[in-house]
């Protein structure tokens, strides 16, 4: 297919980007095969690049566009707010109403403090927990992504060989001292996690976890076991719900799994595609933001030029209104379940060892013959993954390098075209797959 042909206009703009931007891109994602593209625009489930190629979008802006691009009601709400002024640095009615909606929806939320990014929200959660516990160390899970601040960037993409609970920096420029304040546990392994917490509980300020870690679903009882452990030792439990908030259910992963943390970071969907995130949780833990309620030794100053931006809050309110429509989540999960199960069936029929890992509305493929339960089980040869993602792109399906985001914007026509692309991509993988020799041995 000619979908990846580039016009002179797009090639020129890519060359200009290479001159003024490191690597020639925003730092977020490169499409499969490393070829950059420049988006001209989007509508609903589709986006178009500057050369006119059309894609069914399963990146969805890395998740926030659950309703699709340029949703009429979200656009109208943002336009109305924008006509009143773009930002003020003081309270506005949209932000107050959005905070009320969040408190109504999210089980742990008694109060809300807005930020502009998920990175800032998880960072703030950790700071509040340190104030509450008067401890410094945190425990996170190997491979878990909580943004790009120093604490989050420990063991995000580690070697997978370091003994637990020692961390590995996943970025240059992190002070060595940060490693002294971070412990690492294996996701979905409640026994090992319990042993680490029991040994270090008196040093821990918090435990932070993605309820669904990237595209790895929690085992039955894992999140509940983590809640029990942290409650036993009085350690705040933080859910990073930047991805899962308002996605798995209206109340997020907390509602879907029936486990309530002490604090949570939310973002993406709640801002309707604009820069907005938030710290939510028990009022007792958010109290340090109120200088009049606490002494100077407990006060946490937190401000941001665009925190609670009215345009973003208005877009978030319009998005949440659509999510409250009867049957919205049932339809979303049904679409995702059909796509995910079909993809797994195609790999099984092609006799290619592959696991479509995650949950129905957030998933990806790992080319392995063993269950995917933690970060280390995702490691291995990524060659076939590149073949798969590239073939999808050539057949008009865009995803992030790490996941499919299924949205309420994906309709029957999208699903039909996507499954046809799945068939082509699985065939490409099958043609490149070399089965292990019967005489070869594998290590345990």
**pLDDT above 80 (res 380):** no
Query: Who's near 96: CB < 8 A, 6+ residues apart?
Result: none
Mean pLDDT score across all residues of the chain: 95
Contact between 408 and 66 under an 8 Å Cβ cutoff? The reply is yes
Across residues 191-214, what is the average pLDDT? Answer: 98
Query: Who's near 238: CB < 8 A, 6+ residues apart?
Result: 122, 125, 126, 129, 206, 207, 208, 209, 261, 262, 263, 264, 265
Could you state, in order of their start, the residue ranges of all structural domains in the chain?
8-60+326-432, 72-323
Q: How many CA atoms lie within 13 A of 99 on its CB side?
A: 20
pLDDT band (50, 70, 90) for residue 2: very low
Reported as a single tens digit per residue, the pLDDT across 260-277 is 999 999 999 999 999 999
Q: Could you tell me which of 432, 109, 406, 146 has the C-alpha nearest to residue 282?
A: 109
The third-level CATH classification (topology) of the domain covering 72-323 is 3.40.640
Task: Look at residue 32 in the predicted model and tell me its pLDDT.
Answer: 67
Task: Look at residue 33 in the predicted model and tell me its pLDDT.
Answer: 64
Task: Look at residue 226 in the predicted model and tell me its pLDDT.
Answer: 98
**pLDDT above 70 (res 438):** no
Measured distance CA(95)–CA(104) in Å, rounded:
14
Reported as a single tens digit per residue, the pLDDT across 130-153 is 999 999 999 999 999 999 999 999
Q: Which CATH number fits domain 8-60+326-432: 3.40.50.150, 3.10.20.30, 3.40.50.2300, 3.90.1150.10?
A: 3.90.1150.10
Reported as a single tens digit per residue, the pLDDT across 45-74 is 999 999 999 999 999 999 999 999 999 999
Task: Look at residue 4 in the predicted model and tell me its pLDDT.
Answer: 73
pTM comes to 0.95
**pLDDT above 50 (res 412):** yes
């Amino acid at each position: 297919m000619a979908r990846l042909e580039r016009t002179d206009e797009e090639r020129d703009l890519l060359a200009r980007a290479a001159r003024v931007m490191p690597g020639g891109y925003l730092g977020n994602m490169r499409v499969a095969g490393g070829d950059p593209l420049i988006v001209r625009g989007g509508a609903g489930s589709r986006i178009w690049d500057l050369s006119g190629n059309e894609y069914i979008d399963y990146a969805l802006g890395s998740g926030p566009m659950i309703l699709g691009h340029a949703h009429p009601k979200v656009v109208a709400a943002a336009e109305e707010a924008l006509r009143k002024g773009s930002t003020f640095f003081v309270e506005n009615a949209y932000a107050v109403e959005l905070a009320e909606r969040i408190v109504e929806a999210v089980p742990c939320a008694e109060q809300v403090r807005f930020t502009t990014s998920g990175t800032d929200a998880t960072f703030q959660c950790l700071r509040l927990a340190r104030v509450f516990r008067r401890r410094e160390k945190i425990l996170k899970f190997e491979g878990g992504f909580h943004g790009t601040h120093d604490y989050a960037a420990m063991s995000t993409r580690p070697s997978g060989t370091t003994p637990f609970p020692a961390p590995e920096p996943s970025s240059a420029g992190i002070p060595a001292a940060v490693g002294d304040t971070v412990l690492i546990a294996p996701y979905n392994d409640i026994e090992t996690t319990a042993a680490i917490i029991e040994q270090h509980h008196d040093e821990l300020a918090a435990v932070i976890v993605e309820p669904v870690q990237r595209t790895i679903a929690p085992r039955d009882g894992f999140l509940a076991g983590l809640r029990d452990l942290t409650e036993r030792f009085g350690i705040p439990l933080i859910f990073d719900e930047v991805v899962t908030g308002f996605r798995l259910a209206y109340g997020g992963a907390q509602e879907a799994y029936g486990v309530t943390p002490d604090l949570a970071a939310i973002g993406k969907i709640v801002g309707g595609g604009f820069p907005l995130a938030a710290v939510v949780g028990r009022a007792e833990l958010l109290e340090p933001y109120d200088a009049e309620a606490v002494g100077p030794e407990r006060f946490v100053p937190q401000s941001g030029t665009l925190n609670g931006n009215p345009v973003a809050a208005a877009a978030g309110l319009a998005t949440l209104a659509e999510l409250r429509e009867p049957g919205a989540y049932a339809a979303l999960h049904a679409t995702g379940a059909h796509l995910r199960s079909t993809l797994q069936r195609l790999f099984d029929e092609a006799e290619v060892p592959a696991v479509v890992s995650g949950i129905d509305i957030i998933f990806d493929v790992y080319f392995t013959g063993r269950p995917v339960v933690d970060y280390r089980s995702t490691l291995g040869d990524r060659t076939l993954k590149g073949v798969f993602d590239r073939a999808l792109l050539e057949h008009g399906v865009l995803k992030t390098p790490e996941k499919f985001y299924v949205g309420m914007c994906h309709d029957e026509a999208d699903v039909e075209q996507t499954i046809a692309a799945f068939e082509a991509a699985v065939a490409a993988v099958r043609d490149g797959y070399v089965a292990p020799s019967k005489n070869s041995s594998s290590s345990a």
